[in-house]
Structure 1
Amino acid sequence: MLPISRFPGAPGRAQTTVWNGMVFTVATADTYDLDMRKQAAEALAKLDHQLAAAGTDKSRLLSVTVYITDMALKPQMNEVWLGWVDQDNPPQRACIGASLEDSDLIEIVAVAATKD
Structure 2
Amino acid sequence: MITRFPGLTPTRSRAVVHDDLVLTVAVAPDPVTPSMYEQTQKALARIDEGLALCGSGKGKILSAIVYINGMALKSEMNRAWDEWVDRANPPMRACIGVELEPPHIVEIVVTAVK
Q: Tell me the TM-score range normalised by the shorter chain.
A: over 0.9
Q: Does the Cα contact within 8 Å between 1:64 and 1:92 map onto a contact in 2?
A: yes
Name the aligned partner's letter for residue 112 of structure 2. Answer: A
Write the distance in 1 (CA, Å) between the matches of 2:53 and 2:112: 12
Task: Find the residue that maps to 1:104 and give its secondary structure.
Answer: coil
Question: How many residues end up aligned between the 2 structures?
Answer: 112
TM-score scaled by length of structure 2: 0.94
Deviation at 1:13? 1.3
Q: Does the Cα contact within 8 Å between 1:32 and 1:102 map onto a contact in 2?
A: no
Paired position in structure 1 for 2:60:
60
TM-score scaled by length of structure 1: 0.93
Task: Find the residue that maps to 2:103 and give its secondary structure.
Answer: coil
Q: Does the Cα contact within 8 Å between 2:34 and 2:103 map onto a contact in 1?
A: no
Write the distance in 1 (CA, Å) between the matches of 2:109 and 2:61: 11
Write the distance in 2 (CA, Å) between the matches of 1:19 and 1:99: 30
Paired position in structure 2 for 1:15:
14
Write the distance in 2 (CA, Å) between the matches of 1:69 and 1:103: 10
Deviation at 1:20? 1.4
Aligned pairs for 1:13-52 within 5 A: 13-30=12-29, 31-52=31-52
What are the Cα deviations for residues 55-84 of structure 1, in whole angstroms up to 9, with x where unaligned?
010000000000000110000000110010
Write the distance in 1 (CA, Å) between the matches of 2:40 and 2:2: 29
Write the distance in 2 (CA, Å) between the matches of 1:105 and 1:14: 21
Task: Find the residue that maps to 2:83 and give its secondary structure.
Answer: helix
- Aligned identity (percent) is 46
